[in-house]
Structures are given as C-alpha cells and as structure tokens.
Amino acid sequence: MKTGGKYILSVILGSLGFALAAILNIIVPVKADVSFEKHIVAGYLVDSNEAYRIVLLAIIILFILKAILDYRDEARRKKYIRGAKFRFVMGILLFVWDALGTKYQILTQPFFPGPAGIMEAFISEGDFLWKNTLYSLRLYLYGFIIGTFAGIVTGTLVGWFKRVDYWISPILKVLGVVPAVVWMPFALTLLPTAFGAAVFLIAVSVWILVATLTAAGVKETPKRQLEAARTLGGGQAYQVFHVALPHAMPQIFTGITTANGYAFTTLVMAEMMGQPGGLGYYINASKVWSAYYKVFAAIIVMAIMFSIITTLLEKLQNYMLRWQKGVLK
C-alpha cells in the first residue's frame, strides 16, 4: 500500500474509536437512575452528556488537523501512523467506560463516575476549577524555576571547587533521601505564608536533584578539554561557562526533567496540607463531600498540565542539545 493510502487509513482508524464512542453515547439509552442538569456554557445550554460528545468531536477534529500538519514531515508522519491503533483503542475504552460508569453504572458509585459525569465538574464550576489550576501553575513555576536555578548554581560550585564539594555534597546526599514534604511543618513555621512554604518545598525537591546531576556533569568534564581552553588563554570563568557547563548540559537536563515529576508530586501534597487553593486543595475539598467526579476532573487537568510542561521541557532540551544530533545514535 502506498504511503498516502496508509496515512489516510491511519487517520480514519485513529478517529474511528472516538466517533464510535460519541455515536454509541447517543444511541445507547441510560438505564441507571441518573439525570443530567443543563448549564450555560459559552452562551449555550448543555448538559454534561452533551458536553462529553462535544469533547469527543473536538478530539476528532484535533487529530485530523494534526494529520494534515504532520503529513509533510516523514518522521512525524510515521509517528502518526504508529499511534493510530492506540488512538482507536482509547476511543473504545472511553465507550466502555461510559457504558459501565454512566449508562448502566456497573462501576461502584460515586467512586468511579463515567466520563459524562466528570464533565459535570467542568461545566458546573469551570471557573473555580480554572482558578485553582492557575494557582497550582503559579505555585509550580515559582518553586520549579527557583529550584532549578539554585540547583545549577550549587551543582556548578560543587563540581568545580573541591572545598564546596567537601561541605555541600554530604548535605545533598542526606537531604536527597528525605521527601520534601517532611519539611512542611518547619516551612509553615519559618515562612510568613502558606504559599511561600509550598514554593520552598517544591524548590527543595528540584534543587537537590538538579544540583546532584549538575555536579556530576561538571566533575566528569575531560581534563584535556579544560587544558585546551587554558592553553588558548581561557580563564577560570571561561572554562566553567564555555567548557564544563556545556559538557554537563545533558546531565543537567536529565536532572531537570526528572525533578519535574518530583515537583508535581510535592505540589499536590503541599496543596493538600494547608494551601488556600490549587488542584490539590480542590481534590481534598471534593473528596470530603464524596464528589469524586470533581476529583477525576482535577486529575485530568493535572495530567494535561504535566504533559504540556514535559513537552515544553523536551523541546527546550532538544534545542539546547541540538549539537548532539549526528553525534549520538
């Protein structure tokens, strides 16, 4: 089969699962005793079941648009074709979940609501969910940026100066095995606001990992490269910023991407322990009232936010390490 025909089939297959989920959502009657309240969304009166179908339609449109954009790039085209079966299965799983969680409610309620039930959280209190998402994002960015900057500075000093290594390395090793949230009571006592305490915890979780891997990368800089820079008249600052740090960059980004996951874990736990807002706070408050459809909605938002940030970090890493193309296979 020619590439064009295979690509068209992958587009159809990838969208078919979500199309079937939408169609079956319409034709399969609701057997469970459940009603859908209507809410005004973007000027239209819709219920959560209708909103779920709109989301499925939006997903199909996005996949088709992506197919159009990816067609001209061979690598992206092959990746799109490989993902067709996965997208199809995801659509079928959504239908099964809809049937078990909403149509027949075979799954234990209210702990496992269907996708239409989860949409209720987005259309009934979307503004409140959005405000908590922005709170989490602001908290995360403050802590992650501060922790990354401090980690690179600390790791560079530890990797370059033996005296700093002597005093700081044992501290990093000890703190590295202690979860950041353990310091929550001390942070709340020492810092003036709960927001500042959470930023501190996130920054610490990021700082330790980034500092450790940055130091390892700087220490592993080949001596011949440093000697060459010194021979050409490069001073200590030149050797650090133009030789050691570029050499350590792959390990620095390994630390940053790994710390990203630790930062998110710390973020959620910190928000559950005294923050006035955020997705962790939203989950905690919803759980108290057994509103588990709101808990699932917050988890979905977290997953999307984490995926976006991870993708942006990967693109930054690919740009900063573009010199590796053709060197590493």
pLDDT (tens digit per residue) in 31-90: 766 667 777 777 777 888 889 999 999 999 999 999 999 888 888 888 888 999 999 999
pTM over 0.95: no
pLDDT (tens digit per residue) in 7-20: 889 889 989 999 99
Tell me the helix, strand and coil percentages in the chain, rounded to 5.
80, 5, 20
pLDDT along the chain (329 residues), means of 10: 76 91 87 73 80 93 92 86 92 92 84 89 91 95 96 96 94 86 83 89 94 94 89 88 92 94 89 85 89 93 94 91 64
Percent of the chain clearing pLDDT 70 (strictly above): 95
Give the three-state DSSP class for 15.
helix
pLDDT on residue 3: 64
Is 38 in contact with 45 (CB distance < 8 Å)?
Answer: yes
* Residue listed under structure tokens 């088709």: 64
Contacts of residue 105, Cβ cutoff 8 Å, sequence gap at least 6 = 32, 34, 114
pLDDT on residue 19: 93
Domain borders along the chain are 3-109, 128-324
pLDDT on residue 299: 94
Give the architecture-level CATH label for domain 128-324: Orthogonal Bundle (1.10)
Helix axes 126-160, 279-288, angle to 10 degrees: 130
Beta bridge partners of 325: 328
Is 154 in contact with 211 (CB distance < 8 Å)?
Answer: yes
Q: What b-and-e string marks burial along 96-133, b requiring 16 or more CB atoms within 10 Å of the CB?
A: ebbbebbbebeeebeebbbbbbbbbbbbbbeeebeebb
Contacts of residue 27, Cβ cutoff 8 Å, sequence gap at least 6 = none
